[in-house]
Chain A
Amino acid sequence: MHFTRRTFTLTSAAFALTLAAPALAEETAFKPAKMTAFVAAGAGGGTDNFARTVQPMLEKRLGTNITIINLPSASGAMAHQRTAQSEPNGESIEFASSTFITSRAAGQNPIGLDQLTPVARMQSDVLTLVVNTEKYNTLEDFLTYAKENPGKVIIGGTHAASVDRMAFLGLNDAAGLDLAYIPYDNEGSASANLLSGNIDGMFNEISAIQGYIESGEMKPILALADERLEAYPDLPTTVENGWNLTFGNERGVFINAKTPPETIAIIEAAFQDVFNSGEYQAYAKSANLHVRPGFLGSEDYRAVLEENLAYFEKLLSLK
């Protein structure tokens, strides 16, 4: 990690908080009695689990009570809107996944990065192309078949405006393939169709397919990553094939853009502290979210989001 000015202000903010808290409290005064965390996803999914796991850790660090409200409506757009319209005092935050920008790119989400400021990225789940082992065993098998049968190879994923679909569009574009895409309502339905051989492959997060890899029924044949993953040294990456696709499903925290920067910095520091804690790392490991380091500070996260948003918009406009 490079030492930027922001990390410096962060460390100093954290330092100031612990040592000079009484003096600082009068000026910045971010001591909320309670906070609200909107979750831009339904209960029980990856983003919700993330929010509920982090909730007590964050409460301890900010000395407050946090109420979690799930707002899954309209691919999370309700949650974005509620956060963007909340009082800009730092007391309302939002947990969201990459769907925030994929739905933005697809024109389903009226709230953009001008109204919400990223606070921190906490997870960067690696996307993989997964196939049924009875059909394909290697990336070469798959590519050969796909090139010989244009339009016939079906890839499953969740929803029409998801990272799965972006990965599908990106692969078609970068590798010059003509794959077809069927969106399912949830990951389970796509998995079922892959297991039964009704579809040829699907894009899924690496955290979600452990059990199937172990049982040998599914196999990841391509990871959207810069370098080979430590845990999967035999898994080819997009970049080594010359395809510049490295986005994954990212989960992070957002806040009303009008919130004072000092307040954002304090919350950001709290999240960084949570991320570095043994407690959080234990959760990340048990949920297989540790494959790629997840933390990014506010400015770095914004840069990644903006870059991905532009790329997704380009992919969607290709047709």
Chain B
Amino acid sequence: MIEDLIGGLGVVMQPLNLLILASAVLIGFIGGALPGISGVILVVILLPVTYTMEPTGAFMLLTAIYASSVFSGLITAILYRAPGTPEAVMTALDGYPMTQKGEAGKALGIGILSSAFGGIVGTIVLIVATPMLADIALQFSSPEFFALAVLGLTVVASLGGNLLLGLTGVCIGLLIASVGLDPLTGAARFTFGSLHLMSGINLIPVIIGLFAISEVLKRCQEGDIHLSTKSFRIRIFDWPVIREIRGTVARSSIIGTAIGILPGIGASTAAMVAYSETVRWSKDRKRFGRGAAEGVAAPESANNAAAIGALVPLFALRIPGSGTTAVILGAFIVHGLTPGPTFMTGNSDLIYAVFVGLMLVNVLILVFSKPFIAVLSRLLDVPYSALGPVIVICCIVGTYSVQNSMMDVWLMLGFGLAGFLLEKIGFPLVSIILGVVLGPIAESELRRSLAMSRGDFSIFAERPISAILLGLAVILVSATVLAPMLQRRKLRKTAAKQS
């Protein structure tokens, strides 16, 4: 393996390949930073370009763009609460409050470092353990995915704020997610005869509307106030901060990689689970949602680790772990390469060059991100009366480009208005996203599990992984909901005794 890696390094160090990697990182940065333009779209746009390239360069380009676009979604999430990619939604939860507190530089520094660390952990796992992990990933079938989605949904209990509003949000999200064709029977649900609604409501208009547009509306109403930090310095290696977040980053990177290797789950879910675990492990839960450093570190290390982790089942089993990896699989096929069990041994030159390339991309993220964000942050000096409309235009163009659909744009604007109004009553908007992302997984996997067991619910208890995950979810929910109740009762009792 060491020899293969050195061979891969030799390939990567060729000037042309270095140039490919550097430009891929920059393309990924720009695309990831624009709301609506996600890694999938970038990879698709560049796919035809790679047809004429030799395979090694082609796959270094595609995987590098993929990795760097997942990273750069955090920039606009932190600065403008406009997540550049769906993976960065959770980052906005604490990142944007940090910006409002004047800690934009700190938030970005944490985001960059956590992303790179998560990416490097993911890459090491990819290099060392791909065949082994692929076998573990196969242990996950419908019951396990259902259990994982339920565990992810319990994050709503740890979001803080009003639990009832949070649950309402999840239900709204589930309702949004149920629009479209029933995944199992193909029956139309809530489509009102519209072709646009038949494929369901895309995640991107919901996210951009609820987060980016509603924030623009809010700032419009508040009048033209500048952010408290006009200029800021990003410090990536800030030791006191690193000491604060190191546990979170390490844990979230592992969670991210583990979820990433599961086919069909993806980096957004990884970020959600990592965030909720971080809140749970924290001693002071009240800080979250108000600009906690760990709240940025957790989702960022998890989503980057998961993005790389999604390559594990792609290489070893020919099973794409996410939307972008599905496109990369298509690219492999066009190049006449067949990922799968024999792929790793048969194409070690290409694979190890891609591995070393990914490692280098994470280093390049550390190097390039500062100057890139410096340019982007100049925009903060622009008065919001001018910047707001630019954000709206970017959101409209980005949303339209996802499916070439005007309907998505109207939906996005509608969600923007709804988000604006809901925030006025202190509604936790992210609970809606939780429902939209995790709801379809929970629903269809529950029904598939029952199809597997022919209607017998004991399948969830009989399979060890699903039993453990569901048990964990039950314990955690009861702990977060019941513990405060018991505490209050105790207080009342002692108060009664004293009187």
Contact = CB atoms under 8 A, between A and B. Distances in A.
B469 interface: no
Contacts of A97: none
A48 B317 contact: no
B317 A74 contact: no
A73 B411 CA distance: 15
Nearest to B264: A189
Interface residues on B, range: 35 or more
Contacts of B320: 186, 188
Contact of A182 (B331, B343, B448): B448
A182 B71 CA distance: 36
Given A78-B196, A160-B182, A188 B319 contact: yes
Contacts of A217: 341
A108 B336 CA distance: 34
Nearest to B186: A160
B138 A43 contact: no
B139 A191 contact: no
Nearest to A156: B448
Contacts of B137: 192
Given A43-B44, A52-B47, A81 B141 contact: no
B48 interface: yes
Given A48-B330, A215-B342, A75 B181 contact: yes
Interface in B315-358: 317-320, 326-331, 333-336, 338-343
Contacts of A44: 43-44, 47, 326-331
Contacts of A151: 454
A287 B47 contact: no
Given A53-B51, A188-B319, A198 B186 contact: no
A74 B195 contact: yes
A195 B334 contact: no
Given A44-B330, A45-B330, A52-B47, A161 B341 contact: no
Contacts of A49: 330, 333-334
Given A196-B138, A196-B139, A198-B142, A73 B195 contact: yes
Given A75-B181, A211-B341, A188 B318 contact: yes
A185 B183 contact: yes
B342 to A, nearest CB: 5
B263 interface: yes
Nearest to A193: B141
A189 B263 contact: yes
B13 interface: no
B195 A77 contact: yes
A159 B338 CA distance: 24
Nearest to B335: A286
B451 A73 contact: no
Contacts of B182: 160
A69 interface: yes
B343 A211 contact: yes
B225 interface: no
A63 interface: no
Contacts of B326: 44-45, 186, 188
Given A70-B404, A74-B199, A217-B341, A192 B317 contact: yes
A53 to B, nearest CB: 7
Query: Most B CB atoms within 10 A — which of A195, A210, A217?
Result: A195
Contacts of B328: 44
Contacts, number: 153
B184 interface: yes
B330 A154 contact: no
Interface residues on A, range: 35 or more
B23 interface: no
Contacts of A81: 195
B48 A73 contact: no
B319 A189 contact: yes
A78 B181 CA distance: 14
A110 B191 CA distance: 14
B250 interface: no
Contacts of B186: 106, 108, 159-161
A161 B188 CA distance: 12
A284 to B, nearest CB: 11
Contacts of A182: 184, 448, 451-452
B333 A287 contact: yes
B65 to A, nearest CB: 14
Contacts of A199: 452
Interface string A163-190: 0000000000000000010111110110
Contact of B196 (A73, A160, A161, A184): A73
Interface string B130-152: 00000001111110000000000
A211 B199 contact: no
A43 B403 contact: no
A142 B317 CA distance: 24
A106 B319 CA distance: 28
A44 B405 CA distance: 19
B138 A192 contact: yes
Given A73-B196, A154-B452, A215 B264 contact: no
B302 interface: no
Contacts of B263: 188-189, 192
A212 interface: yes
Given A44-B331, A191-B317, A198 B452 contact: yes
A211 B184 contact: no
Nearest to B180: A74
A274 to B, nearest CB: 15
A180 B403 CA distance: 34
Given A45-B330, A73-B198, A215-B340, A180 B451 contact: yes
B295 interface: no
Interface in B375-404: 403-404
A205 B79 CA distance: 47
Nearest to B326: A44
A43 B44 CA distance: 6
Contact of A43 (B47, B181, B184): B47
B185 interface: yes
Interface in A42-62: 43-46, 48-49, 52-53, 55
A56 B497 CA distance: 85
Interface string B301-324: 000000000000100011110000
Contacts of A183: 183-184
Contacts of B454: 151-152, 180
Nearest to B334: A49
B59 to A, nearest CB: 14
A283 interface: yes
B444 interface: yes
B220 to A, nearest CB: 32
Minimum-distance CB pairs A-B, first 5:
A211-B340, A44-B327, A160-B186, A74-B198, A286-B336
17 contacts: A43-B43, A43-B47, A44-B47, A71-B404, A73-B196, A73-B403, A74-B196, A74-B199, A108-B198, A159-B183, A182-B448, A186-B320, A189-B319, A191-B317, A211-B343, A283-B334, A287-B333
Given A44-B330, A108-B188, A195-B317, 10 more contacts: A52-B48, A159-B183, A160-B181, A160-B183, A183-B184, A188-B318, A199-B452, A210-B340, A286-B333, A286-B334
Interface of A: 43-46, 48-49, 52-53, 55, 69-75, 77-78, 81, 106, 108, 110, 151-152, 154, 159-161, 180, 182-186, 188-189, 191-193, 195-196, 198-199, 210-212, 214-215, 217, 283, 286-287
